[in-house]
Structure formats: C-alpha cells, structure tokens
A and B are shown apart, each in its own frame.
Chain A
C-alpha cells in the first residue's frame, strides 16, 4: 500500500444479531483515504455508513455487533488485531468521532468545558490548568467564548452544542476525524457556519476526514473522494468530480434524480422506486437489482465485481459501460 494512505479498509464485513436473525450491515467494503483529504460516505438510512465508522473505532454495539471479516489499516497498522488497551489510546487521540446528534451526545450533567477536558486529560500529560487552558482554546476555536467553559449543554443552542462536540473531537488534534452527519440536525445558516469552520480547522490541523452524510450538497462542498454506499456495499467510488459529473451506478444516478434542482422547475421528481432491501434477506447478486431499471438476468446471479472506469473511479455494476 502507498504511504500516502492514512486509512485503508479491506473487505470489511459487519453483521448484527437481532431477534435471532443476522442483519448484514456491511458486506465487503474497500475504502482508502489519503492523508489530508476528505472522503465522503453517502447513502441512505440503514446503508451501513455509521456502522463503518463504528467499526473503525471498534465501538460496535455489544454483544449484537460482530466483525465478520476484513482489515482496517490506519497508518499501516491493522486496528482489528491490536489489543483493546491500545485501542483506547487511539480513540479520541489519533482517531476521533463527531456523533450525529449533538442533543444526545453530550452529558447533560457535566459542564461542556469538563467534557472537553476529559478527552485531553485521558490522552495528554498536562497539568490541570494546562488542560483547562487547552479546553478554553478549543471552545474559542469553534467560536464559543471561553467564559462559557462552566455552562451546561442545555444552556446552548443546537448549533453551539454541535460546535462543542466538534471541539471535543478535535481537542487532541486527531489525524483522522470520523464525522457522522455533523450538520444534519442544524439549520442551513448554522450548517454553513459549521462547515466553514470544519474546513478551516481541517486545514489548520491537517486532519483527514471521513464525512458521513446523506446530503449530496455537503459532499460537493467538503469532499475530494466519494463512496456511495448501498445495502452495506460501496457501489461507486471516485473523485467528487467523477461521482457528480459521471455518475455510473444506477443507484447513484437515482440519488441525483431524486434531488430537487434549484435552477430548474420540474413538475415531478424521479425517485428510485421501491425501498432498500431487508438487510436480513439481501438478494444474491446485485443488491440494487430489484429497484434497477437496467437489471438483467446476469445481475441476479452471484456477487458483482468492481469495474474500473478510471484509475480512481470504480463501480459495482455489470452494465456500467453499456448503459449510459
């Protein structure tokens, strides 16, 4: 593997046990993220985006979550084979995560300053005052006055809570930041502020980011690489230009078709018919086949191999070259 890659995921498979059934959440995912870049994971609810992030940090819900196969390399080290004690040193330090819902990811009975300090205290050998100093700096970095160190989460608005969560995630200057829908719960003007701030902090600390979102607008704005996730598989992977200008998987095309174009007036949208398949009974062959307009006999047999459309662009579709 090239030294440029900070994160490399190979053949990742994750499943959950629910009511005696096996839920196949992630089904053979390969991803790479170069240092300093932002990789977008885009897909709908239940596609397995968050599970991928949780697998990287090894925080899958226990006992129902199970890593079935695969390797996750960060800086060449396979995270899935190292002992838990070592993993604890990595979480929040080398790799940290911004969780989706700022309303529930903060502890309501501890001040926000304390919660930021906790991360620093765990990972850095600093004195109490230095830790507090650093936490205050982080708050100010995200645009919250340091004087609010002692305030509690309920005293902040949604946008400010999300900033606190971001400050917490960045407190130890992680190399890899997993941002799970960091702006989904926010209003657009506040989202604009937060995205702007994330880009600024990313440039300042040289952090590489995995950005999980269902919003293609956010992807276009933040990411260099995009992976489109469907039913636990990467159905298309490429640079942001390739995905937006030459979408090749019918699912990716369907996603774009579902969007409302602000510059055009269309009477009806063209959504993808049907629903995502039940993850306890995934179709053999292409997972998208039941909803695909171009599906043919061969698509339903056996696993679909990736096809390379360019050095950086790959797609999991038998008919990618044929159907334009």
Chain B
C-alpha cells in the first residue's frame, strides 16, 4: 500500500457575510495516496478553490482536521507553517495576476529559494536555471517581465515557482483554464511529466471535466460546498450516479459531429451557500427530488470505492 499523503476529515470553512454564514466548504472528507492526483470538479462557487486553499492554510479552517503525511496540521504556528509551505505548494489559476508585474522571471522563481535562505548567489542562479529548464522556459526569458510573455509561458513561471522548494504536494487551482487548447495540452503534459519525475501529489481543481478526467486518478464532484460524488476517474465518467454529476457530464459540448447528444438541462442556477437548509443542496434543481431529500445527506460507499451523497442513489445504480 502506498503512503498516505493527505487526509481531510469533516473539513469546514465558513465565512461570515452580512447575509449570514456562507458555507463554502461543508463537511468534506477524503484521503489521498502519495504520487496520485485527486481531481476536484464543480462549478463556480461550489467551494473547490476554498477547499484547496484551506488545506494549504491560505484560509484557516472553521472545523475539521487536516493530516499531512500522518501529522495533524489543522492548527500550526508560523514557524511550522513556513516549514510546511516547502512541502505544500499551489499553482494559481490566473497566470496574469498571480505573478508580480515588477519582478523579472528569474526574480519570481528565485524568491522562494531566497526566503528559505542558505544558498549563495551562484547557487541561486544555478537553481533558477535548472528550474527554468525543468518547466521548458528558455533562458533568454530570465530577465523578461511577465507582461512580455504569453499565458502559457507565464503559467510555466508559476509552476517553476511552485516547484522551487521541491514540494511533495501541490494544489493546482485551475492551472490551465486561462490557456488555449494547444498550450493547455503542453502544460498538462508538463505537469504529468513532473509528477512522474518528482513523485508529486496533486489536488487538481478545475471546472473542465475533460481536463479533470485526463489528469486524475480519483475525482470528487462538489456542489455548494459539499462533496456529492467521489470515485475513480473511469468509474465516475462511465457510471455516474448522482443526478448532478450526470447533468454535469451531459453538459460537456463534445467536439464531434453526427453524434446523438442526450443532454440533461438543469433547471435554474446554483442556490445560495449562505445559511443553507439541511438536506440535499441540489434538490431545488433535481428532477428526482422528493420529500426524502429534505433530510441531511451523507456520503456513502455505494459500490467499492464509489461514494455518493444522495438518499435516492439506489434508484440510480
């Protein structure tokens, strides 16, 4: 059995808003093995980014536990956090706003190494060169500024920065959403190669279902702060059970002609995550909703390795 890298138990992140308590992440539990990718998929506002950020302590969790390599890291002091950041990194969605416009490419990649300390200037230079090679950035860009580069290259800078301290675990928050398909494919290949070379574990957050299928070993689907379904990538795509997952999968525009499209059109839009009522949060848009759905739902293993949070799931298997 592989080593467990991350375990999250009943994680909650609530934000106080003028309208009440916003349940961004509500009772999410999962565990992942080292060297694997957990895909987190869902629509805007479902809490997927908040989940990733809470795991990294970019937000402090409201409740629940986070274990990293078996160690409880739910509450840590500044010193411990600094050490943790070496092992846990993030690649941000927007390569335009996540890079300091006043720093050159080499300065951006150098920054984490400098903060860690203990390297001479010459060593730093070698490290930056090595990292640029690793992510496929030509050395001639070392003194360029982010605005001079295209989105794909900027995302490579973000990846080099995340890799600079040799992390074990990276939260990838929509890393290719801002990129064109041909560039997207280059970056996805790079991320897979780096994972193989360095044994990285990824939480891969995206709204793009084909990207998540390509990258992930396991996928969890989120809806309004809760995990509604979790299974291996193949299982989730071939045997989706939760009505939301089914609708989501059917909504992907398929780049093929002369195929039959069976689309489940959902009613309305995502409801508010502020002071949600107990019970299934998807019920308002669900074609199968009934009285039963007003009771709180739990994530249950309906088939080996396949978890669904839907009281009616037996009907859909």
Please state if B255 and A240 are interface contacts (CB–CB under 8 Å).
no
Q: Most chain-B CB neighbours within 10 Å: which of A187, A189, A255?
A: A189
* Chain A CB within 8 A of B234 CB: yes
Please state if A189 and B207 are interface contacts (CB–CB under 8 Å).
no
Cα distance A256–B255 when bound, in Å? 9
Please state if B257 and A192 are interface contacts (CB–CB under 8 Å).
no
**Residue in B closest to A257 when the chains form the complex, CB atoms:** B185
Please state if A258 and B257 are interface contacts (CB–CB under 8 Å).
no
* Chain B CB within 8 A of A217 CB: yes
Q: Indicate which residue in A45, A191, A258, A260 contacts B251 across the interface (CB closer than 8 Å).
A: A191
* Chain A CB within 8 A of B214 CB: yes
Flag A91-135 by CB within 8 Å of B: 1 or 0 each: 000000000000000000000000000000000000000000000
Please state if B185 and A188 are interface contacts (CB–CB under 8 Å).
no
Q: Most chain-A CB neighbours within 10 Å: which of B150, B182, B252?
A: B182
* Chain B CB within 8 A of A31 CB: no
Please state if B248 and A189 are interface contacts (CB–CB under 8 Å).
yes
Q: How far is the CB of A109 from chain B (nearest CB, A)?
A: 21
Which A residues touch B258, using CB under 8 A? 241
Cα distance A158–B269 when bound, in Å? 10
Flag B32-62 by CB within 8 Å of A: 1 or 0 each: 0000000000011000000000000000000
Which A residues touch B247, using CB under 8 A? 189
**Residue in A closest to B247 when the chains form the complex, CB atoms:** A189
Query: Given A221-B261, A260-B214, is A271 in contact with B182 using a C-beta cutoff of 8 Å?
Result: yes
* Chain B CB within 8 A of A214 CB: yes
Cα distance A12–B12 when bound, in Å? 56
Which A residues touch B248, using CB under 8 A? 188-189
Cα distance A257–B234 when bound, in Å? 21
Q: How far is the CB of A41 from chain B (nearest CB, A)?
A: 14
Which A residues touch B186, using CB under 8 A? 271, 273
Which B residues touch A221, using CB under 8 A? 253-254, 261
**Residue in B closest to A244 when the chains form the complex, CB atoms:** B257
**Residue in A closest to B196 when the chains form the complex, CB atoms:** A267
Please state if B266 and A193 are interface contacts (CB–CB under 8 Å).
yes
Query: Given A258-B182, A269-B189, is A189 in contact with B214 using a C-beta cutoff of 8 Å?
Result: no
Cα distance A220–B152 when bound, in Å? 26
Cα distance A277–B250 when bound, in Å? 36
> Which residues of A in the span 264-319 have a Cβ within 8 Å of any Cβ on B?
265-273, 275
Describe A's contact surface by its main secondary structure: helix
* Chain B CB within 8 A of A179 CB: no
Flag A152-192 by CB within 8 Å of B: 1 or 0 each: 00000111100000000000000000000000000111111
* Chain B CB within 8 A of A138 CB: no
Please state if A160 and B269 are interface contacts (CB–CB under 8 Å).
yes
**Residue in B closest to A195 when the chains form the complex, CB atoms:** B253
Contact-residue bracket for chain B: 35 or more
Which B residues touch A265, using CB under 8 A? 234
* Chain B CB within 8 A of A262 CB: yes
Q: How far is the CB of B250 from chain A (nearest CB, A)?
A: 8
Query: Given A189-B43, A260-B213, A262-B237, is A220 in contact with B253 using a C-beta cutoff of 8 Å?
Result: yes
Please state if B253 and A218 are interface contacts (CB–CB under 8 Å).
yes
**Residue in B closest to A267 when the chains form the complex, CB atoms:** B192
Please state if B269 and A269 are interface contacts (CB–CB under 8 Å).
no
Which B residues touch A215, using CB under 8 A? 253, 255
Contact-residue bracket for chain A: 35 or more
Please state if A190 and B185 are interface contacts (CB–CB under 8 Å).
no
**Residue in A closest to B43 when the chains form the complex, CB atoms:** A187
Cα distance A157–B185 when bound, in Å? 30
* Chain A CB within 8 A of B144 CB: no
Which A residues touch B292, using CB under 8 A? none
Please state if B43 and A259 are interface contacts (CB–CB under 8 Å).
no
Cα distance A288–B185 when bound, in Å? 18
> Which residues of B in the span 164-200 have a Cβ within 8 Å of any Cβ on A?
180-186, 188-189, 192
> Which residues of B in the span 250-297 have a Cβ within 8 Å of any Cβ on A?
250-258, 261, 263, 265-266, 269-270
Which A residues touch B66, using CB under 8 A? none
* Chain A CB within 8 A of B146 CB: no
Cα distance A220–B257 when bound, in Å? 6
* Chain A CB within 8 A of B299 CB: no
Please state if A157 and B257 are interface contacts (CB–CB under 8 Å).
no
Q: How far is the CB of B39 from chain A (nearest CB, A)?
A: 12
Query: Given A45-B180, A193-B266, A262-B237, is A269 in contact with B185 using a C-beta cutoff of 8 Å?
Result: yes
Provide 29 A-B residue pairs closer than 8 Å at the C-beta atoms, listed in order of the A residue: A44-B181, A44-B183, A187-B43, A188-B248, A189-B43, A190-B269, A191-B251, A192-B251, A192-B263, A193-B266, A195-B253, A216-B255, A217-B252, A221-B253, A255-B182, A257-B185, A259-B181, A259-B185, A260-B210, A260-B213, A262-B210, A262-B237, A262-B252, A265-B234, A268-B189, A269-B189, A271-B185, A271-B189, A273-B186
Q: A192-B250, A255-B182, A256-B255 are in contact. List 17 more A-B contacts (CB 8 A).
A: A45-B151, A45-B180, A188-B248, A189-B43, A192-B253, A193-B266, A215-B255, A217-B252, A221-B253, A221-B261, A244-B256, A245-B257, A254-B182, A258-B185, A266-B214, A267-B192, A269-B185
